[in-house]
Amino acid sequence: MGYKVAVVGATGNVGREMLNILDERKFPADEVVALASRRSVGVEVS
């Protein structure tokens, strides 16, 4: 069973780093949700 994870501020430096760390360490998440402010609508998060 994996986790459901929300990364708040996903378009900022810390949020992007959190997403990278989750990916690099193969964190057992069933779902990762990237949250950001309205200013970031349309910004791609990888």
- pTM of the predicted model over 0.85: no
Contact 18, 9 (CB under 8 A): no
Q: What is the mean pLDDT of residues 12-34?
A: 96
Query: Per-domain residue ranges for the chain?
Result: 3-40
DSSP annotation string for 1-46: --EEEEEETTTSHHHHHHHHHHHHTT--EEEEEEE--GGGTT----
Lowest mean pLDDT among 4-8, 18-22, 41-45: 41-45
Res 10 pLDDT > 90: yes
Report percent pLDDT > 70 for the chain. 100
